Amino acid sequence: MANEIKPYEFDEIERRFQAKWRDEGTFEVSENASRPKFYCLEMLPYPSGDIHVGHVRNYCITDVITRFKRMRGFNVLHPIGWDALGLPAENAAIKRGTHPETWTRHNIAGMKAQLQRLGFSYDWTREVATCDAPYYRWNQWFFLKMLEKGIAYRANSPVNWCPSCLTVLANEQAEGGLCWRCKSTVVIRDMEQWFLRITDYQDALLDDMAELPAWPERVLQQQKNWVGRSQGAEVSFPIEGGGSIRVFTTRIDTIFGATFSVLAPEHPLVDSLMADTDNAAKETLARLRGQDRRARLAGQVDKEGLFTGRYATNPFSGERIPIWVGNFVLMGYGTGAIMAVPAHDERDFEFARKYGLRVHAVIQPPTGTLDGATMTEPYTGPGVVTGSAGFDGLTSEVAVEKMIAHAQARGFGAAKTAYRLKDWLISRQRYWGTPIPVVYCDKDGVVGVRESDLPVVLPPDAPFTGEGGNPLEKVESFVKATCPKCGGPARRETDTMDTFVDSSWYFYRYCSPKTGDAPFDKAQVRYWFPIDLYVGGIEHAILHLVYSRFWTKVMKDLGLIDWVEPVTRLFPQGMVHKDGEVMSKSKGNTIAPDDVIKRYGADTLRLYILFAAPPELSMEWSETGIEGPHRFLQRVWRLVQKHAPTTRPRDIAVPGLSENGAALRRKVHQTIARVTGDIDERIHLNTAVAALMELTNEAYRLEDGLTGPADAGALAEALDTLVLLLSPFAPHACEQMWQDLGHPKSLVDEPWPVADEAAMRETSVEVAVQVNGKIRARVQVPAGASEEAHKAAALEDASVRPHVDGKTLVKAVIVPGRLINLVVK
């Protein structure tokens, strides 16, 4: 008998069912008002050439959830696409002479085959590649709408230039002064570029977080820091001899301690203030201006400054204060000028001590008294205001309010909020991106392309030499254009869009990927939105996830949708590590899923990757660890094959279960409850797999002790349930086992099992007995026994007696079914 069991041929099984799902369009969906919808999204991959284990982890999580939701009766949208524009394709073109599109399409085909070999349940009819002109034309359409509304604009400003990628970058793509893609140090250049006015939405980005209770706090926190809203005041300091300096401060309560003012070296007033100074001073100024602005931003340069020779008046104290220029004041934040309060600010203190400027304490801490002349470090906390005329004795908090009101009444200041967020720089000087749809006309200036002329298509014949700028500039037929306004000759914009534009709205396109006259079909989007669950890497917390929220808000203002947030629940999955390091191409420690599939099969890979760690934490890839899930799958396979012929026909409801039969049935229903909860609420897929392993172990333990028709029914139920519960994790093997168990339909259309509370209940339970908090014994009590019965059982127990006898029972804490704690003296 045992040697007749058919072997588990995973390769053949997996390929057969993958073909079946594909041929039958199993996972193709459409709007259906009769079922609740579930939109599950994963971050679309960049087609670099290979699916890596990090992608696999992301997509395994969503695949389990979508298969589960489908069995629970939901109409599930589970799409996939390609973030197909971007630099690597162009770099490959320069290196190998293939066109970026050829390289990209080739990679997409290869990676698509890899995804299909993993058995993911995508609706492939909705596949979107952002390099398709019918897709990126809508990037252009959105751009024109934003141009009309003033959200898109062109401006000259200091920008991040990556000398390796040969293009400018947005602020958040140059974190820490490094290019997000190639890690080169960026340089600051003044250039005229295209921006999107994301700062118009900075308050909405913060305030709408109220609608995101199912987003992890750490992501929201990162976004809050990035927007960097800080409330304060703007105050004018009149300059002796005319004009005034506007400063931003969050600590107006310290203003009587402002003993000098500092301007950023780039501040527009500096040149006129220093017009009369000597050459040495001008040289110093030039040097400060020449310092690397990146390093200055990062605080990596020593504080340095010079006196302008001019004075201003502190509008509160009337005091005459010197005006300085300092490299630690940044033009890009606030007003580019500060009032310096050395007694109560670290930076001002350091600067004042270096140049011997006066330190004047005006805030007294709860303990001790400060003296500006002798203090060795500033006091930056709140306190009680002193030496501040009519404001003395107030707390910092109250003083802030009163001083703002005072400044406002006298007309030299007002409440003001400053933000860290900058507008989104979207132009790139590269070929493989969405052309920005404008032309430059000598007569009409910057003019948007007519909507009817979209898309502006990338010319296929651009030269990829790797030298001298954007290849688009060299395509005469592309650059030469006609002005839509006057019909005269015009020059076409050759900058293309940041690829983060593509990924800011792709999830709307999935709802109606073929729509030709609009970015998407409104009714279809209304059916599927919002996205119920979005799974992806946390590295996009302040990039993609901010841009996407912004884009949705703009779409709302354009009247395309009527909500302000696209994603209900965000689930950032952990990374995959190997030998303690993040797995990455550059480290050379990647694992190719293809090799693993060849050796163990896709089902084992899926199980392992989900079992090894909870999805939100990083997981360590282990060569031996994968053996466990593989053995488990084989065990399930053998169990099913062994009993499949005898479990038909099944009759589960027969009375008269043996003790073993009842135990098996109990375990089955307990497992249903656990697995369901683990997937649906907590997304703890590792413990769901562990529960299935437990059920399998229990079935092996009990199989030889089963007798009679009732037990046979319980075994049939156990096998059916095990296969159903396991199917989202290991869909191919389960489809085969489901057939072998005599079911004609595909598993994906079967309803998810429901736990029977009555069947789960134990007849008798083991209860721990503590004496004064220490475990002394374990006793059996009938399920649902009274507290008195628990207590009696505990006191009767032979190993409890020695600890209780001769002492007084003060109290008995009883948690029925779990624990008894006897407190004795």
Partner RNA sequence: GCCAGAGUGGCGGAAUUGGCAGACGCAGGGGACUUAAAAUCCCUCGCUCCGGAAGGAGCAUCCGGGUUCGAUUCCCGGCUCUGGCACCA
Q: Measured between alpha carbons, how far is residue 483 from residues 150, 192, 497, 539 in Å?
A: 20, 21, 21, 42
Instruction: Establish if 640 lies at the interface with RNA (CB under 7 A).
Output: no
Phi and psi (nearest 5°) for 21? -60, -40
Please report how close the Cβ of residue 100 comes to RNA at its closest, in angstroms: 29
- Non-local (6+) Cβ contacts of 350 within 8 A are 303
627 binds RNA (CB under 7 A): yes
Instruction: Give residues 255-314 in contact with RNA (rule: CB under 7 A).
Output: 264, 296-299, 301-303
Q: At its nearest, how many Å lie between RNA and the CB of residue 418?
A: 6
Q: How far is the CB of 349 from RNA (least distance, A)?
A: 10
Residues 768-797 interacting with RNA (rule: CB under 7 A): 768, 770, 772-776, 778
Of 44-52, 64-72, 629-637, 710-718: span binding RNA (CB under 7 A): 629-637
| Helices vs strands, H then E, count in the chain | 26, 32
Residue number, 607 or 734, with CB nearest to RNA:
607
Q: Tokens in use for 145? A: 């709408």
Residue 343 per-residue DSSP state: G
Q: Is 420 in the site for RNA (CB under 7 A)?
A: yes
**Identified binder of RNA from the candidate list 36, 176, 268, 489, rule CB under 7 A:** 176
Among 8, 226, 431, 506, binds RNA (CB under 7 A): 226
- Within positions 63 to 122, which residues make up the interface with RNA, using CB under 7 A? none
# residues contacting RNA (CB under 7 A) = 92
Least distance in angstroms from the C-beta of 400 to RNA: 11
Q: Applying CB under 7 A, which of residues 618, 763, 764, 780 lies at the interface with RNA?
A: 618
If you ran DSSP here, which 8-state letter would residue 681 be given?
I
Contact 462, 471 (CB under 8 A): yes
Residue 437 in contact with residue 454, Cβ under 8 Å? yes
Stretch near RNA under the rule CB under 7 A, chosen from 56-64, 276-284, 628-636, 655-663:
628-636
Residue partners of 504: CB distance under 8 A and separation at least 6 = 544, 547, 548, 550, 551
Helical segments of 378-473, H only: 396-410
Cα–Cα distance measured from residue 57 to residue 578, given in angstroms and rounded to the nearest whole number? 14
Residues with Cβ within 8 Å of 387's Cβ and at least 6 positions away in sequence, in order, are 256, 257, 360, 361, 362
Which positions from 750 through 769 interact with RNA, judged by CB under 7 A? Answer: 765-768
Q: Which of residues 574-613 bind RNA (CB under 7 A)?
A: 611-613
In angstroms, what is the minimal distance from the CB of 507 to RNA? Answer: 24
Contact with RNA (CB under 7 A): which of 49, 332, 372, 459?
332
CB of 437 to RNA, least distance (A): 32
Question: What dihedral do alpha carbons 218, 587, 535, 121 form, nearest 10°?
Answer: -170
CB of 184 to RNA, least distance (A): 17
- Please say whether the dihedral angle defined by the alpha carbons of residues 698, 704, 709 and 712, taken in this order, is positive or negative: positive
Stretch that binds RNA, among 23-31, 352-360, 500-508, 811-819 (CB under 7 A): 811-819
User: What does the block give as tokens for 2?
Assistant: 């045992």
Q: What are 39's strand-pairing partners? A: 77
- Region of 57-65, 111-119, 314-322, 685-693 interacting with RNA (CB under 7 A): 685-693
Cβ 405 vs Cβ 217: under 8 Å: no
Phi, psi values for residue 594, rounded to 5°: -60, -40
Scanning residues 34 to 73, which ones bind RNA (CB under 7 A)? Answer: none
349's tokens:
């203190």
Instruction: Decide if residue 821 touches RNA (CB under 7 A).
Output: yes
Residues 704-733 vs RNA: string with x where CB under 7 A? ------------------------------
In the bound state with RNA, the residue whose beta carbon lies nearer, of 447 and 583, is 583
Closer to RNA at the Cβ: 40 or 767? 767
Which phi and psi (to 5°) does residue 678 adopt? -65, -40
Selected binder of RNA within 799, 801, 807, 809 (CB under 7 A):
799
* 131 sits near RNA (criterion: CB under 7 A): no
Of 30, 32, 125, 221, the one binding RNA (CB under 7 A) is 221
629 touches RNA (CB under 7 A): yes
Q: Which 3 state secondary structure label does DSSP give 351?
A: helix
Residues 195 and 147: beta-carbon distance below 8 Å: no
In angstroms, give the least distance from the CB of 316 to RNA.
15
Site for RNA in 190-219 (CB under 7 A): 217-218
Among 98, 222, 417, 584, binds RNA (CB under 7 A): 222
Q: Which residue's CB is nearer to RNA, number 94 or number 297?
A: 297
Considering only residues 273, 312, 497, 542, which one is a binding residue for RNA as defined by CB under 7 A? 542
Category of 334 on φ-ψ map: left (φ > 0), alpha (ψ -120 to 50) or beta: left
* Minimum distance from residue 153 beta carbon to RNA (Å): 21
Binding residue for RNA, selected from 473, 521, 594, 620, defined by CB under 7 A: 620
Query: Residue 649, preceding bond cis, omega within 30 degrees?
Result: yes
How far is residue 43 from each of residues 15, 46, 187, 611, measured CA to CA in Å?
A: 26, 9, 30, 22
Q: Restricting to residues 657-676, which ones interact with RNA according to CB under 7 A?
A: 674
Binder among 164, 417, 590, 634 for RNA (CB under 7 A): 634
CA angle 151, 155, 160 (to 5 degrees): 105
